[in-house]
Amino acid sequence: MTALLFLTGPSVSAVLPPYVVLALYSATAHAAARHAGHPLWVSHGARLHRYLTANRQRALSLVAQLEVTLGFYMVAMLLTSNRSFVLTYFVWQQLRSRYWNPESGPYHRAVWQAIGQLSAPLRNALPALEKPIAFVQRWFQSGNPMVQGVH
């Protein structure tokens, strides 16, 4: 679904980095499990897999930072002629899901906490921003979308 939305929308090369990092991480984990003895894997892929495994937390933190950056980029794109409301909404829904995901959630919450700390002086200087920010925060934290509708 993600690929189709991005392919039908305007060219957004900023979409690639978080997905490339996740794809590398997943592909090397799969190859390590299935092809550990293959000469090509030993000579080319094993070193990358060891690096990604050793730096797993840094890689997942980077992915969270890139995904949040993509969300803000998509909002900024709404101000241009290349706007796509559906794509922007989809990206923010995905961010919300990643925020509640048990594996990626801690990294996303850390990114949002850092953004809150960095934006505090601006929010204090412009109190009019508090209402829209509070609206977005309520929407983001309005329950775990991963379990909503499951009774």
pLDDT of residue 44: 84
Give the pTM.
0.76
Alpha helices (H) in 11-55, listed in sequence order: 16-34, 39-40, 46-54
pLDDT of residue 150: 47
pLDDT of residue 86: 83
pLDDT band at 24 (very low <50, low <70, confident <90, very high): confident
Residue 120: CA atoms inside 13 Å, Cβ hemisphere, count?
6
Residue 65 has pLDDT above 90, yes or no: yes
Share above pLDDT 70 across residues of the chain, in percent, rounded to a whole number = 85
14 Cβ neighbours under 8 A, 6+ residues apart: 69, 70, 73
96 Cβ neighbours under 8 A, 6+ residues apart: 139, 140, 145
| Residue-range domain boundaries for the chain | 2-140
- Per-residue pLDDT of 88-130, as tens digits, reads 888 899 899 889 888 889 999 999 999 989 989 988 999 898 8
3-state helix, strand, coil in the chain (%, to 5): 80, 0, 20
